Every structure is written in C-alpha cells, then in structure tokens.
Structure 1
Amino acid sequence: MSRADEAISSFRALGRLIRYARGYRRRIIAAASCSVVNKLFDIAPEILIGIAIDVVVNQENSFVARLGFQSPQEQITILAVLTFFIWAGESIFEYLYMILWRNLAQRLQADMRLDAYTHVQSLDMAFFEARSSGDLVAVMNDDINQLERFLDGGANDLIQVFVTIVAVGAVFFVLSPLIALLAFTPIPIIVWGAFYFQKRAAPLYNEVRQKVGALGSRLSNNLGGMATIKSFTAELREAERLRVDSEAYVQANRRAIAVSSAFIPIIRMAILAGFLATFVIGGMMTLRGELNVGAYGVLVFLTQRLLWPLTGLAQTIDLFERAMASTRRILDLLAVQRQVHDEGTRTLPQPARGEVLFDQVSFRYPESGAGVEQISLQADAGNTLALVGATGSGKSTLIKLLLRYYSPGAGRLLIDGIPVEELSMHSLRQAIGLVSQDVFLFEGSIRDNIAYGRPDADDAAIVEAARAAEAWEFIERLPNGLDTPVGERGVRLSGGQRQRLSLARALLKDPPILVLDEATSAVDNETEAAIQRSLRKIAHGRTIIMIAHRLSTIVHADRIAVIDQGRLREQGTHRELIEQDGLYAAQWRVQTGAVSEGASAVAD
C-alpha cells in the first residue's frame, strides 16, 4: 500500500471513529479548543520578548508606546503583566487539555471495549468457531489501548503542530514575507525526513515486535509446561532457548535504535539551516533598517518554535496511523452482523413440559459441508433421548441447532409444540441446561460457579443442587467448602470434580430440558457411576438428551437414536436396537465383547 493509500485509509478510519464518537463531540471540541488556546499562549512569550527588545531599543518610539504607554518603565511593566497572564493562561489550558484528552481517552476506550464485548457476546457461535479467541482479545484489549494512547497525547500533538505552523506562519508573513519563505524552506525536508525514517524504522520495529512476541510465547509455554520441563530435567536446555530468544530481541532492538537515533541529529541540521537563514538575513535587514529590531527578535525566537515541534511529527503520525489501523479493526468487529436473529416474542408456558421435536431438520456447515440431513426425532416430555454415533456424525450439531447457535437450512425444531425461532432466545435457553464434555468453570469460588445460572440462589438451594450432582461430599471435605477458589478454568479441581460442579450448575438452573453432551466421556468409573446415580434421581419430570460414546451409560434411555454421517439410521430402546443387529449392536459388541444374544440378556 502506498503512502497516499495509507493516508486515505487512515482518514477514512478517522471519519468512522468520529461518527462512532458522536456522543463525545462536546468533549472532543472542548479538548481540541484547549489545545489550540494553549499553543497560542505558548507562542506568545517569544513575541513578547521581541516587543521587549523593541521597548529597550526604541523606548518612546516603540510599538508599545504607540498604544499609549509613553515611558519605557510603563511599557516594561505592561509587558511583565502580560507575560504573567500569558504564562498563567498557558498553564491553565495545558492542565485543561491534559485532563480533557486523558479523561476522553479513558471514557472512550472503556465504552468502546464494553460495546465491542457486548456486541461480540451477542454474535452467533459460528463467529467464535471461525475467529480465534486470541485475535478477539487483541482487538478488544491491544487495539483499544492503541487508540487510547493516541487520544492521550497524539491527538493534542497533531493539533498543536498544525496551530504552530498556521500561527507562526501568519506572524512571519506579517513581519517579513522573505524571511517567512526562508524559515519555511526546511519544513518539506523535515517532513520528508520524518516519513523516510519512519519507513526505515517500521520494518525494524516490526521485527522487534515479532521477537518480543516469540519471547513472550516462549515464557508462556515454558511456565505452562513447567511440570513437563522438570520431569524431563530440561531446565538448562529451556534456559538456553530463552537466552537465544532474549538475545534475538536485544539485537533487533539494537538495529531499530541505530536508525531511530539518527533521526533527531539529522533533522536538527535542517532546523539549523532555517534558523541561520533567519538569523543572518534578518540581521542584515535589521542593520540596513529594513526590519525593526524587535521584529527581528520575534523572528529569531519563533524560527525554532516553528521547526522544532516537527521533529516529533514522524512519531505522532506513526501513532496516528497505528490508532487508525486499530480503529478499523475495532469498528469492523462492531460491524459484524448476526446470522441467527433473536426475533422471537413468545415464551414457553410455565411449567414447560420439555417435549423436543426435530422435524425433517437439515443443516450444513458452510466451511466443511458436514452437518445433518432430514433428521426427524422426538424426545417426549420427561423421557430420556440418547444420541449415539461416531465422532463427526452430527450429534452435537443437533444440540447446537436446539440451542439456536445455528439456524437449520430446512425443517423445524419445536419445544412443546412451539417453533424455536418464535421463542425469545432468553426463554429458549432458560429452558435448557447444558453439561458438556469440556467443562468451563469461571475463576471464583465453588459457590459462584454453581450459582452461575441463578446468582440470587441461597446456600440451601446451592447445597441441594450439589447433593443432587453428588458433588457435596467432596465440597464438604475442602477447607473452605463452597468458598473454595476453583482457579482459572477450574484448574484446582480434578476432572471429575469439575464435571460434577457443571452438573450441579445445570441442576440449580432447574431447566425442563437437560442436555448432556458426552458429560461422562472424560471421567473415571467412580465419577461416571456417581453421575449416573444423579441422573436417575433428577430424570423424573425432566426431559434429558444425552450424547454418549459409552453405550453402557445409556442402556436405560427411553429412546436411543443412532446418527451416522448426518442421517438418522436407527432408533429404539437398547433392547430393540440389539435385536435389530445393526450399527448400534455392532458398536455394543465392540465395547462389551458380547454377542447379540448375550447383550440382550444384559439389557434385560
């Protein structure tokens, strides 16, 4: 992308940001106004110095004398008073713009992060399956922080550079157009140099970011795999690898520093050229009487005031472009549209019966083409429906369609006779409790996690749910009981304990439909037996849909459906399916080593 294209893209992003931030316009205008006034006050002392020189040299014939102050003493006093108020004004407006810009940056980044998170939270599960969580965290954290850094200082710097050029340029052209032309001559060189050095430094700093990313990744992986490192006595090897990555980071920084450090000294020489032109030619004009001595002083002092701020222009522009690139990513995320819309207005009657019907349901994932085809299946209210089949056969897809993570391409799903798309998302998902194979616990206490679906639940209800899930026995043995921290993702608990807490969490929600997505596939036999006992207790009056690979866990299900390659191949009770001697019976023999007749006897 060319520099012009980058500039156009950045200003388009700025326009989008301004439209997004229309509720902050008063704050933006106030902050920008304070930046402008502060810079005008900042320039004024140099002008006053020139006027003071004029007073000392010309006395009764000075510029101030023509304003009605005849004696040099009065003139100096007036200038002293003006200087006080100008410095006070500069300090006041510097305080104000810093407060306004920084508070604006904090408020905007906080609101933007909340807007982005709220919007992402409302998106379909398909979005999360297509985007990495690390990428989303980078947008909602790093990119928003990048915008905050620009608003914190870069916005003020851009405004003040522009005000400096306009205000100082106006003074120069009023006093001496020739010297103005000479003073402004280095500006194109300074600007070109700024962008040249930025272009040279950008790939070097990209390399620095890559090296620091590799270093951070190495540290994160090693800290997370410390048990493995110790078990293989690989401490010295990993320390050497870290040293290599750290040294690569140092060398990348050294190359970038060598380029960036050369910028200021070279640009300083361009500033010197402009300063010398003003100093020498202005001095000659003053000696010849073509320029007032006070005006000459103003021009000399303002030349450096004009050119020096431009040395930071490259850094400010770089900050601006980074912020606008981040803004594009943030606003693009906010522009992502939902595919599954929450347009239903109906709610399930209370108490809901929990009858679930899949009527000729078909669905295909856009990327892979996998899915389900013309599935017709019913889970009667208060009964248990088990879904079995090979990995990737479509079992979990049916659950995702039931929860409206996706919308079916054809067919209908109904709960208690009501199409799910006519139900509000809240009513639909409140009616379903999900216990998945991959249990997710939030950092906090056991109490917090069990009560996640009912934050207002009292301890009695929490304990009852824990007992029903056969979790209370191990909770009671913990030093802090319900107040025991579970750690990040429940890392302080065993897999079986996490699974039981997940079941307790679903039970406390008390849904009419309970979905168990391979909830016992990753637990030991004791935990599986405990969960099976829990299910027998809680199944009464509740519809249960189970996905299972272990057929031994579903032999008592009221209906078992065999899904193969996205189609319903068989359905019936355990005994009926064994007698059919089809896919289910074959899988039963693989898992138990039994023959069909023996399996039937077991079923009895």
Structure 2
Amino acid sequence: MQQPLPPPRQPSALDHRYRGEHPIRTLGYLLRPDRRRLAVGVAAFVVKHSPVWLLPLITANIIDVVVQHRPERELWLNAGALLVILVLNYPMHLLYVRCLYGSTRRMGTALRDALCRRLQQLSIGYHTRTSAGVLQAKVVRDVETVEQMTQQASDMGLAAVITLIGGLSVIAFRVPSFLPVFLVVVPAAALLVMKLRSRLRSHNESFRQEVEQFSARVSEMTSLIPITRAHGLEHAALGRVDGSLRQVFLAGVRLDLLNGRFGALAWILLNSLGVACLAGSALVAYHGWLPITAGDVVMLSAFFTTLTGSMSTLLSLAPVISKGLESVRSAGEVLEAPDLENNAGKDLVERVEGRIDFEGVGFAYEGAGGAAVEDFTLSARPGETVALVGASGAGKSTVLNLLIGFIRPTTGRIVLDGTDMATLDLRSYRQFLSVVPQESILFEGSIRDNVTYGMGDADERTVRDALRDANALEFVESLPDGIHTVVGERGARLSGGQKQRLAIARALIRNPRVLILDEATSALDTRSEAQVQEALARLVHGRTVFVVAHRLSTIRAADRIVAMEHGRIAEIGTHEELVGRGGVYAGLQSKQSA
C-alpha cells in the first residue's frame, strides 16, 4: 500500500532568504526571533559585570574616606553597595547564560536545519559535484564555529565594551581632566601589545603545518599497515613517522620559547605603562596641578590596566569574528546554491500504472564535450522488464537518472502514463518507485529500521513477508536479535549478499509500480548472486522494471534488451534476436563468453 506524502514542513529561518548578503545581516536575521531575550541577557550582563568597573571607584571612595577622615558611614555605604552588586552576580549570570547562550543554540539549530533542508532540496547533480565530507563540515563544523564566535564575542566582547564604557564614564565624571590622556594612551598601549602578539602568527602557522604533516604521516602509516606487516617493513614505517615527529617536537619547543619571550615582553610593557600612569597621576596629586585625591590616583592606576586589557581583548577578537563570519559565508554557499529540484506548484502523482515513454530524450552534462544521451526514444509498457546494456560511458546510468528524475532532459521529454514528467511533482512520483543499487546503502540501525526506512508504521508481519520474499528471512532469524539486530555503520556486520537482499526487502515492502535495478548483482559471488536473483524474480513480477546489468547472463529473461552505444540506442530486441543479429549486444556477449 502506498504511503501518503508527509505534510510540508514550515520554512526555516533561512529558506529562500539567504542571497549572499553580509554575514552579519544573516546572523541578525537568525537571532531576530530572540531579540527580547538578547536584550534581557545584555542587561543582566551589565549588572553582573559592573563590579569590574565599579570596584576602582568604590576603592577610591574608601581610600578618600580613610585619608580625609570622612564619616565612617560612607565607608560602610560603599562596602555595602559593592557587596550587593557582587551577590547579584550569581542570579544575573544565570539569567545571562539562559538568555544569550540559549539564543545562540537556537540560532545554530536554525542554521543547521536550514542547511539540512537545503541539502534535501538540492539536485543530485549538485551532490555528485560536491564532496559529502565538505557538506558535513559545513553542517557540523562551520555552524559550531558560528556558535563559538557568537558566544566568545558576547562573553569577551560585551565584557570589554562595558568595562570601557563604564570605566571611561567614571573617569569623565570623577576626573574629567584625565579623560583625554586615557583616550590616547589606552588604545596605543593595546595596539603595542597586539603588535607583539601578531609577530607570533607566522610561528603558529609553521607549527600547525608541522602537525598537519605529521597527521598525514600517521594516516599514511595506518592505511599501509597491511602492506607493512606483509613485507616486514615496520622499522621503515616507524622511521618515516619518527622524522616527522621530531620536526613537530622542535617546532613546538621553538613556539613555546617565542610565546614565553613575547608574553613576558607584553607583560613588562603593559605593567611599565601602568607604573608610569600611577607615578604620573601621583605626581599631579602631589604637586596639586589638578584637583585629584589619593583615591583618584589609585583609581586611575587600576583603570589603566583594566581598560588596556579590555582594548586588547577587543582587538584579539578580530580573528575569532573573522573566522566565524567566514563560516557563515561557507554555509551560505549551500543556502544560495541555485541547483534545486523545483517541484513547487506541480501536479501530485496519486496513481501510477507504469507506462513510461522516452520521446527523443537527450541530456548533456555541464562542461561535457558532448551529449551523454541523444535522441533516446523508447516506450515501456506496464509490467514490462527493459534491460539497458552497453560499454562504460554508453549512457545507461544517465537514462536511469533521467527516469528517477535526478536530472531533467535537455531535449525531448519523458511521459509517465500519458503525462509529461516535467509537469509532475517528482517527490510524489518517487512514492511509487524503488531503486536497488549496485551497492546497498544501509544506515546504523536495526534490520527492521533499514527495511522500513520512512515507513515506521509497518507491522512485523509485513516486514517478515518482505524479508521472506527477498530470501533474507532465514539469515535474519539466525541473528541474535532477529529483525532487531543492529547492522552496523553502512551494514558493516553483514555480507554483500545479505545487504543486497535487505535492499530488495526494502523495495518489496513499498510495493512500487516502477522498479530500477542498477547492476544489483555485479558485486556478488556466484552463491549470493543466485539467492539475490531468485529474490529479484519475485520483485519484478507485475512491475515496470528497468535493469542495468554488467553480467549479460542475468538479463536473458528481460522482455526487451536495449543495447546502447555512445549515448544512442544501437539496437532493441530479445536476447535471442540480438544474438542472431550479430550487432553490439552479440559483441558484448562474445567478450563475456571469452
């Protein structure tokens, strides 16, 4: 029984939205639903972080109370105010984490959701051109980088900005005559510190390259272990790794020494400038050049170190933010990829009889020198088995991809039960289609999960019937957990024949009207092939079937065999007819017999 199409999901945050705009605008759009939470989070952060810039002011007040013998009540008021702010840090920090970190996680989830849904919408042509590893990195690593950037920019950036604003405001209110000095000296000191740090970049890059080279050596060593063991070359393999390992050690020691040297210089520079600020403000107070108190001297000295550190933090965030924005652009490459399978507004397929007509169909891959398929005209009747044969590159796989709808004809048309497939929603058409590929694709899960993929409501009897018809029930029942046995990643715990019979069971349980067998037995041994062929005989019964086979012996019973050459149909007929003609098919037959 056919399964109904799942209801359309609501569009995610970036669907049909990303058009290559600046990454910050993309982030703003993603965070927009949480703008109130973000505002609350920032307010909570201001309160929780206020002791950092209020402490020097309160310290100055307390020192002045002591030095000037002002009323003791002022001392307790200042100390009490600081304690209240310190106690508020705990609830305000929790509120900040809940609001801002929660918003960041929701943003990352929305971005991953948009990427995953876009990957499902992009054409098979896009996926064949783009590495699966690259796409996985975009969904996992790039989004994680964006989350880390947002969190670090929030934690460190907010702290630095609030400290700068608070500190400069206190100075402007308490000692306005010193404000111009801080506006010049603090950025200059921070730039000097960053200048020292930037000189380490080339050395960090060198160390990273040595580590990558060592990683490549280890990967090479592990992949060659069978050959290394077989020829007794363990010593030579270890020698290659040892050389690279020594380079990593030397580069690491050099980097540590440079980090220590520049770290010490930066610390000395920053604290020397702090001493200069302390001495300068003390000198001003001592001679009475400006109306500042002893408490102001301590406050200015403390603020110099605090504000310089905040400036350095802001400058150090530049690479983190740059890396995060580059990850947004990387995700945008998928989100704005135009190569979509367009099904919007097209007719749903509610019933399939199985008549398929290729009318002068041609297809040329982008950038290819010529057409992969040209003037392909063929009519398949409901319930007929059509086999496609030919040398590598003859166009067989392209015809199958056209039939599935992975690619669209560049010339001609394909007609399903009298309706041009260009007008149909191919997702609904594929509900009536099953494919058994050359290499069965299984996922980490139970046998039942793999057979009923997308059909979670199938009862156990239906599953067992499908396994029985696929010649798989016997071996499944011999497994420790039966149909609930976990097959391992990509079916690693099963043999090739077992995996292929599960693929046939997956096709059978869907009761398809159109069936595609893409060299379904070419990778199997003789015994496994016999079991799979017996299962396939049950699967093809009463269905329109297109078969691509490398072993011609497996297609002798096909109703018609289409021999292809250079993207065109060379001849059509039964096995006996084509052998008698002595054409392309007969030539392939004689080569295999030889």
TM over 0.5: yes
**In structure 2, distance between residues paired with 1:186 and 1:259:** 27
Structure 2 unaligned runs (5+)? 1-19
Percent identity (aligned): 30
Shift of 1:269: 3.1
Q: Residue 408 of structure 1 aligns to a residue in which SS? A: coil
* Residue correspondence of structure 1 range 544-583 to structure 2 within 5 A: 544-583=545-584
**In structure 2, distance between residues paired with 1:344 and 1:527:** 45
The answer for the alignment partner of 1:504 in structure 2 is 505
Q: Spell out, residue by residue over 1:406-455, the C-alpha distance to the aligned partner (whole angstroms, 9 max, x if none).
A: 11111111222222232223211111100111221101122221111422
Q: Residue 522 of structure 1 aligns to a residue in which SS? A: coil
Shift of 1:218: 4.9
- Output the amino acid matched with 1:478: L
Name which of 4, 20, 25 aligns with 1:15: 25
Question: How many residue pairs end up in the alignment?
Answer: 572
**In structure 2, distance between residues paired with 1:111 and 1:490:** 31
The answer for the alignment partner of 2:377 in structure 1 is 376
Please identify, of 294-303 and 243-252, the stretch whose mean Cα deviation from structure 2 is larger: 243-252
Q: Residue 519 of structure 1 aligns to a residue in which SS? A: coil
Shift of 1:239: 4.2
Shift of 1:121: 2.0
* Residue correspondence of structure 1 range 249-288 to structure 2 within 5 A: 249-288=248-287
**In structure 2, distance between residues paired with 1:471 and 1:515:** 20
**In structure 1, distance between residues paired with 2:401 and 2:330:** 29
In the superposition, the TM-score normalised over structure 1's length comes to 0.88
**Higher RCO structure (Cα 8 Å, ≥6 apart):** 2
- Output the amino acid matched with 1:288: H
The answer for the alignment partner of 2:42 in structure 1 is 32
**In structure 1, distance between residues paired with 2:474 and 2:417:** 36
Q: Tell me, yes or no, if the aligned pair for 1:184 and 1:274 is still in contact at 8 Å.
A: no
User: Structure 1 residues 125 and 222 mapped into 2: Cα distance closer, same or farther (>3 Å)?
Assistant: farther
- Output the amino acid matched with 2:471: E
The answer for the alignment partner of 1:64 in structure 2 is none
The answer for the alignment partner of 1:6 in structure 2 is none
User: Structure 1 residues 511 and 29 mapped into 2: Cα distance closer, same or farther (>3 Å)?
Assistant: same
The answer for the alignment partner of 2:59 in structure 1 is 49
In the superposition, the TM-score normalised over structure 2's length comes to 0.89
Please provide the CA RMSD for this pair: 2.6
The answer for the alignment partner of 2:357 in structure 1 is 357
Structure 1 unaligned runs (5+)? 1-9, 61-71, 594-604
Q: Tell me, yes or no, if the aligned pair for 1:185 and 1:274 is still in contact at 8 Å.
A: no
The answer for the alignment partner of 1:599 in structure 2 is none
Please identify, of 331-340 and 426-435, the stretch whose mean Cα deviation from structure 2 is larger: 331-340
Q: Tell me, yes or no, if the aligned pair for 1:183 and 1:278 is still in contact at 8 Å.
A: no
The answer for the alignment partner of 1:162 in structure 2 is 161
The answer for the alignment partner of 2:478 in structure 1 is 477
Q: Tell me, yes or no, if the aligned pair for 2:394 and 2:564 is still in contact at 8 Å.
A: yes
Q: Tell me, yes or no, if the aligned pair for 1:359 and 1:411 is still in contact at 8 Å.
A: yes
**In structure 2, distance between residues paired with 1:131 and 1:202:** 32
The answer for the alignment partner of 2:87 in structure 1 is 88
Q: Residue 382 of structure 2 aligns to a residue in which SS? A: coil
Shift of 1:75: 1.5
User: Structure 1 residues 227 and 166 mapped into 2: Cα distance closer, same or farther (>3 Å)?
Assistant: same
The answer for the alignment partner of 1:308 in structure 2 is 309
- Output the amino acid matched with 1:155: S
User: Structure 1 residues 580 and 195 mapped into 2: Cα distance closer, same or farther (>3 Å)?
Assistant: farther
Shift of 1:349: 4.1
**In structure 1, distance between residues paired with 2:296 and 2:462:** 85
The answer for the alignment partner of 1:492 in structure 2 is 493
User: Structure 1 residues 326 and 41 mapped into 2: Cα distance closer, same or farther (>3 Å)?
Assistant: same
The answer for the alignment partner of 2:11 in structure 1 is none
* Residue correspondence of structure 1 range 7-406 to structure 2 within 5 A: 12-60=22-70, 72-197=71-196, 199-219=198-218, 227=226, 229-289=228-288, 290-343=291-344, 345-350=346-351, 352-369=352-369, 370-406=371-407
Q: Tell me, yes or no, if the aligned pair for 1:194 and 1:313 is still in contact at 8 Å.
A: no
Please identify, of 31-40 and 570-579, the stretch whose mean Cα deviation from structure 2 is larger: 31-40
Q: Spell out, residue by residue over 1:353-381, the C-alpha distance to the aligned partner (whole angstroms, 9 max, x if none).
A: 11221111111110334521111112211
Shift of 1:230: 4.2
**In structure 2, distance between residues paired with 1:100 and 1:254:** 42
Q: Tell me, yes or no, if the aligned pair for 1:53 and 1:294 is still in contact at 8 Å.
A: yes
Shift of 1:51: 0.8
Shift of 1:49: 0.9
Q: Residue 531 of structure 1 aligns to a residue in which SS? A: helix
Q: Residue 436 of structure 2 aligns to a residue in which SS? A: strand
Q: Residue 368 of structure 2 aligns to a residue in which SS? A: coil
Shift of 1:98: 3.3
Q: Tell me, yes or no, if the aligned pair for 1:45 and 1:86 is still in contact at 8 Å.
A: no
**In structure 2, distance between residues paired with 1:15 and 1:114:** 18
Q: Residue 69 of structure 2 aligns to a residue in which SS? A: helix
User: Structure 1 residues 519 and 332 mapped into 2: Cα distance closer, same or farther (>3 Å)?
Assistant: same
The answer for the alignment partner of 2:453 in structure 1 is 452
Q: Tell me, yes or no, if the aligned pair for 1:453 and 1:505 is still in contact at 8 Å.
A: no
User: Structure 1 residues 22 and 494 mapped into 2: Cα distance closer, same or farther (>3 Å)?
Assistant: same
Shift of 1:486: 1.5
Q: Residue 452 of structure 1 aligns to a residue in which SS? A: coil
